[in-house]
């Protein structure tokens, strides 16, 4: 695995979602910061802390070989000099499935270092069932 150089957080994000669509573990690992402080949470999954656990979580996610088509919506991006946070809705469809899967809400945190921008943390959760025009009753 070779760490790739990404000039912007958007470049890293494009490569990240491309790696998911192709189920390409080597490409995925080249996007993550090689840091023991990385964190990855897949929808309904355990928290993977450190590069080794994140690598294993993606190996398992890609083991089925299913290639998903992915569409992003509702982006929220906050960026600073050294840190960027992108929150998106991910819409997956998998060949052979009759209908698209429910959306996933994902937050990806990118960090800038000597090797450019890389993924430091990802948290993805299933989106709650949406009721048009209804306000959320959940308080945090």
Q: What is the pLDDT of residue 71?
A: 94
- Tell me: the pLDDT tens digits for 37-96? 999 999 989 999 999 999 999 999 999 876 788 999 999 999 999 999 999 999 998 888
Give a yes or no: residue 13 inside a domain: yes
Full residue range of the structural domain in which residue 59 is found: 9-126
Q: What is the pLDDT of residue 140?
A: 45
Give a yes or no: residue 102 inside a domain: yes
- Separation CA 75–CA 107 (nearest Å): 10
Verdict on whether the full-model pTM lies above 0.75: yes
Give a yes or no: residue 59 inside a domain: yes
Under DSSP, is residue 128 helix (H, G, I), strand (E, B) or coil?
coil
Residues 6+ apart with CB under 8 A from 51: 32, 33, 34, 35, 36, 38
Q: What is the pLDDT of residue 54?
A: 96
Report in angstroms the alpha-carbon separations of 71 from 17, 21, 29, 43. 9, 10, 21, 16
DSSP letter (8 states) at residue 70:
E
Give a yes or no: residue 1 inside a domain: no
Which is more confidently placed, 118 or 128? 118
32: domain CATH number is 3.10.450.50
């Amino acid at each position: 695995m070779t760490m790739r150089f990404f000039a912007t957080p958007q470049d890293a994000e494009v490569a990240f979602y491309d790696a998911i669509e192709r189920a390409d573990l080597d490409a995925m690992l080249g996007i993550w910061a090689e840091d023991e402080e990385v964190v990855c949470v897949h929808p309904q999954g355990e928290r993977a802390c450190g590069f080794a656990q994140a690598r294993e979580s993606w190996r398992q996610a890609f083991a089925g070989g299913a290639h998903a088509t992915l569409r992003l919506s509702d982006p929220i991006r906050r960026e600073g000099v050294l840190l960027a946070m992108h929150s998106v809705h991910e819409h997956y469809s998998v060949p052979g499935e009759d209908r698209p899967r429910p959306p996933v809400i994902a937050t990806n945190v990118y960090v800038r270092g000597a090797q450019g921008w890389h993924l430091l943390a990802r948290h993805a959760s299933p989106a709650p069932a949406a009721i048009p025009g209804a306000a959320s009753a959940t308080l945090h």
